[in-house]
Structures are given as C-alpha cells and as structure tokens.
Chains A and B, each alone.
Chain A
C-alpha cells in the first residue's frame, strides 16, 4: 500500500534524476576547466621571471578586479587558477542552478505534471520540500566530478595544490549553484510562469553581480561585497586565502529561501502566483501574419537576450583589451597559443585574437539554443498547428534556420562593434574595420554547428539537442584535453572553433571559413530534405 513518505519520495527522486544528469555533465566540464587552467599556467608562464612579470602587471588592476574578481598571488598556480576560472565557473553554476530549479518547479507546474504529483499522497508544501531535496542531489552530482578532477589535477607534483584546497574550491563553485537554485525555487513560487521566474531570477543574479562589481572597483566600497551572495563566495578565496566563514551566510540564505519557497507553496493555489502575469493583454498581431512572423515572435526573447549578452561580452573584451594585452606582453604561452592558431601579433590585438575564440564559442552556444527551440516546437506539438495547414515542412525549417543565421551573423558583427566601442573608451588603437572583420570571423563555426544541428533534427529529432550541444561542448573540450594530454593536432582538428584564425591577431582565413560554412550549408540542406521525409515525432 502506498505511504505518504513513499509518495513524497517520488517527487524527490524524479527531481534528483532531472537535476543529477546535467549536474554530472556540468561537473565534468567544471573539473576539466580547473585542470586545464592549472596546466595552462605552466605552459603559458614557464619561468619564474614570466610569472613575476604577470603578477606585477596584473596586481592592483581595478578594471580586471571589477569584472572578474580580486587578483591575488598571480605568480602562483593557485592564485592564477582562482582568478582565471572561479569567476566564469561561479557565474555558470549560478545560471545552471537558477534554470534547473525553475525547470523542476514552475516548469513542471506550467506543463501540468506538478498537478499529477499533488493528486497523490502529498501536499503542496511537502512536494516543494522534496523538490528541494532532489535539487540537493543535483548539487552533489555537480560537486563530485568537479572535486575529483580538481583534486586529481591539483595533486600532481607540478601543480601541488592541497586536497583540502581543491575540495574547498569545488565547494565554493557549487555554493553559487546552491544559492541560485534556492532563488529559483522561490521565484518559481512567486512568478506566473517559468519564463517570468527566470526573468526574476536573472534580475537577482544581475543585481548580485553589479553589487559585487561595485565593491571590487574601489577599496572604499569593499564592504558592499557582504550585500551580495556572489561577494560572499568571492570572500571564500578557496585557493589563496581560504576562509570558511562566508559559507555561513550562504547556508543561512539557502535555508531561508528554501523555507520561504516551501511556505509559499503551501499557502498558494496551484497555478496562482504572487506576481500574476497579464493573462489578458492587448492583442498584438503585427508579427502574426504567417509562419515567419510567428517564428520571430517566439524567438524574440531569446534573440534579444543573446544579443545583449554578446554585446556586453564584446564591450568587456574591448574595455580590458589594452590592459590585458600589456599584462600578457611577453607571455610565451599566449604567444604560443596565438601562433598555433595562426596569429602573430602581440599586445591588445593578441589578447582579442584569443578571446574572440571564446566569443565564437558563445555564439555557438546561442545557436545550439535555436536548434533546441526548433526541436521543442515539434516535440511540444505546436508545429502540428502549422503543418496541418498549407505550410510546407521545408519552408518552416528554412525560416527557422534563417532566423538562426541572422542571429549568428548579427551577433558576431555586434561582438566586433561592441569590442571596438569598449576599446575606444580606453583609447586603445584598434581599427573598426579590423574588429568588425574579427567579429564576422567568429560566425563560421556557429554556422557549422547550426548545419549539423539541422541535419540531426532531420535524421534523429529526439537526439538533435544532445548532438548540437555535444558538438559545442566538444569544441571547447577538444582544445582543453589536447593541451592537457598533449595529444596533438588530430584532436584539435575535430573542433570547429579551431578552424578559424584568431582575428584580429591574424587575418581571417576566409577559405577555411567558406569551407566551414559550406559544410554547414550542405548539412542544413540534407537536414531539411530528411525532415520532409520523416514522421513528426513528439517528445
């Protein structure tokens, strides 16, 4: 006979499964990133002199500290690893924590599955508490591979970072995920839809980052750090000046947020919200004249968000280009990387050549999101509403891919333009034409990813999202693994990101770019043809 405890456990187990698998995958990515950063330190700065030069040039650079966090002990592998990887991992962990929490709470409520859970032997509050327990399992799944890989890499004789420090570093990163999971749980109870919950959560994350940024930009404002969860995590300094005390407010905040989420869940009606959405807005039919307009309307929020993110990324690249170029001047490691990628320049141009490869990765992630949206349109059954009317399958998919093409080209050029504007504000001598060209240079790998995604959608719709994101993740990992294992050229050649030259540190190789675009286009055409010949497939 089913018991109440057993019924409630179903929610926890289901949530743990949904959070555990991606948690494990992201943990692997986090662990490899930490290991790669530690190894890169020795290849980029092989001599004591180069390390001291790096530390001298970076120390006290408030611009860098405001954007990426405090700079400490840059002449040690521990200080370098903390500075180089902690910021990005903490932000990624925060975003993941927020999205997974809103997905398993408000997302489940939006699609009606939460109601099925609540029709069993459980209550709204108990189910919300069990979801929090399931998310806790997701945190463990995130922490374990991060910690194991960090310990394995840190324990090598060359790196020499203590086991305790590596474990604490993994804990610091996962603490960010825990905070924003708890934020996600609460906003999931307050907002009208998962989309609205994500917007609220993103606002909390942005505010936390801005407060932390202000605190790190001026020594007089340091105390502001204690107003931001990201500031508390920064105060942990896991690899340089470790202190567990800031974990206390993290734990208290998570407990308070989860408690509040459970309390709100117990008091509100299913489907209701504290911040109700507008269920009867003024009709807007401007874009609803056909399939193309509908595509624009449905993808507009994602396109605007990615455009803003790419613009901000470009501005940050431009703002720090001159200072970063000076700091890395004479780094044989960076010069080696740029040379291997086909570049020759030094200074700000070399720095931008390096970071524009990262921009190419971000554009590729954005386009993988478009492939995911294409598949979700079919899986949800929304596409049926169009294809039972006089709309050709090839036309529908072609329009969706054209919107993706627009995002890639527009976003890429925007990165270049924004970097130029950022550099201009710092009086860096960088040409608009060169940076626009460098921006356009990041588009071909993403177009290749789009083509492969379309082909996977045509042939294997249920695997399309995994194939596309897998290709993007592999593009990042191939270089990282190759540099760690020194396994040579063949591994790097499997990454589309590494078939672009590091403009503006080198002239774009338009022949290689045309080849990537051509392969992407061929794959996309094959995908469109395959889609026309197969059954529609639900989730």
Chain B
C-alpha cells in the first residue's frame, strides 16, 4: 500500500510559490529522506500532508485518505515531529506526554519509558525550564511513542547533541524494523544517508531529484582542501575534479568517484596539509544547480 501519494500538489502564499506541482509516492514501510535547503518547500509539503494549510492545487493522500478533506482520519495513522517546537510552557514533560498520548489515542507505554531513558529526559520538569534540545527530545518521544504507521519528521534532530542524534538513528532503525514508514525532512545529508533508503530533493519548491542512494551516487562527491609546499599543479583536467578554487598555496575542489588521480597530482607538489569531507547539501546544490539558482 502507498503511505504517501501527492499529485500536482502546489501551494502559493500570495505571489510566492512555496511548492510547485509535487508528484511523490512513498510505499508503506519505506524510509525516505526529503532534502532541500532552507526555504525549499520541505515544511510546506509536510504542513500540506497534515492539512494544516490548504493546497492551492493538487491532491495529497496518506494511506489512501485525502488528508486535505479528512485530516482527522489521516492523523490516526500519523505521528509528526517538528523541528521548531512550541509546547505549553506550564505543563511538565510527563504531563505533555500524557496529554499528547491521550489526544493521539494510542501509546506504547513501555516504549515511551524506554525512549525517556534513551534520550535521558527529566520529564518531571516544566517545559518552560527545558533547553531547546530537551524540548526537541520531548516532542520526539511524543511522536515515536505512538508507533504510528507513518512518521513525518521535519528536521527532527534540530538542537540535539551527537549522542542524542545517534539515539535518534537507533529509533529510526527500530521503526524500519517494525514496518513503519518514515518521511524524514532534513538538510543534513549525512543524517539522511545514514538512515534512508531513498531520497527526494527539493529546490525552490520543485522536486529536482528522486531515487535511491545508489542511483544518486553522483551526488556523493568529496570536498577536498589542501595546503601545498610547491607550486599548485593544473587540476582542471583530472577526472572527477570540479569546482577548483586556488588562493596562493591553498586549493579547494570537489571530487566525484576515486580520489586517487587527485592525490597523485598533489603529491608531486608536496602536500603540507590535506582534509576531505562530504560536501554539505548546500554545496552540492551550488555545484550542481548553481547556474539555475537565479533562473
């Protein structure tokens, strides 16, 4: 069964087109990463799926239910975790979990307790005394404890430290093992790569790429920076090397595929210092779509 299906889904705010003709299908049980830079339309898509805002055109379904026409029926099978959380400050963490669990209707109490322990959250405190990270943990637990068929996660690790990010990834692995569908909106490529089977990329409100990670291997280029002792060799002709920038003895470039030809070229110039890292999604966009950005 299809967990999420959108057809020609669009949303405009006045003259601004936040989402343009989105056609997307997510099979039940899949973990999909929904990528894009800030303002690309990720949150708009999720708010349309939740029926919080009205579509300008098109249709959106969750497990076959039209989520614009009957959001309540759709929400029975959905748990949503926002990245910007706003909770009632006078309630304690435990009271918030109790309330949201009762409103949702289904809670796996044992799993909730496990999550509270895993995320090391003191639920006896009022929400107003929580840090940003603790508020995020609370809303994550509130979403995950329902064991809903579909998890809609909108930049869910915002404000979490690396240990808690690891705990989050464990939760997603468990959800996948349980057969839950996960829709993970993020601009952190490494997080998406760690947990998702398939990726959809949004830019300026349009879906520009969609496929599994193997198909999109061409996106996995490395960002390389080096300080050289000798003169900078000519790099533009080396296979897989692009976006070369030279400032004195400092070079930066991107490498797709094997890094060996680049290393061989640099070795002759005497490498004093070299770092390589995966480029941010923003850098990939600049590399792949930068020319179209202002089009």
Contacts and interface: CB of A to CB of B under 8 A. Distances in A.
* A and B from one complex: yes
Given A381-B84, A382-B87, A535-B52, A389 B92 contact: no
Given A389-B75, A389-B104, A391-B103, A280 B87 contact: no
Interface stretch (B122-130, B173-181, B197-205, B224-232): B122-130
A280 B126 contact: yes
A380 B129 CA distance: 17
A536 B43 CA distance: 13
Contacts of A535: 52-54
Contacts of A110: 89, 128
Nearest to B99: A288
Given A388-B50, A388-B52, A535-B52, A298 B102 contact: no
B129 to A, nearest CB: 4
Nearest to A279: B129
Contacts of B87: 382, 385
A390 B71 CA distance: 8
B235 interface: no
Contacts of B71: 387, 392
B76 interface: yes
Contact of A283 (B47, B76, B78, B92): B92
Interface string B111-131: 000000000001011101100
Given A390-B105, A536-B53, A380 B86 contact: yes
Contact of B92 (A193, A281, A385): A281
A290 B47 CA distance: 23
A283 B124 contact: yes
Contact of A381 (B86, B92, B94, B126): B86
Nearest to B132: A112
Interface in A500-539: 533-536
A390 B128 contact: no
B18 to A, nearest CB: 11
Contacts of A392: 71-72
B86 A384 contact: yes
A113 to B, nearest CB: 14
A119 interface: no
A388 B53 contact: no
Interface in B74-104: 75-76, 78, 80, 82, 84, 86-92, 94-95, 98-100, 102-104
29 contacts: A193-B128, A278-B126, A280-B122, A280-B124, A280-B125, A281-B92, A283-B92, A283-B95, A283-B124, A285-B94, A288-B91, A380-B86, A381-B86, A384-B52, A385-B88, A385-B100, A387-B51, A388-B52, A389-B103, A390-B72, A390-B76, A390-B105, A391-B72, A391-B75, A391-B103, A392-B71, A392-B72, A535-B52, A536-B52
Interface of A: 110, 193, 195, 277-281, 283-285, 288-291, 294, 298, 380-382, 384-392, 533-536
Given A285-B99, A535-B52, 5 more contacts: A288-B95, A289-B102, A290-B102, A298-B90, A536-B52
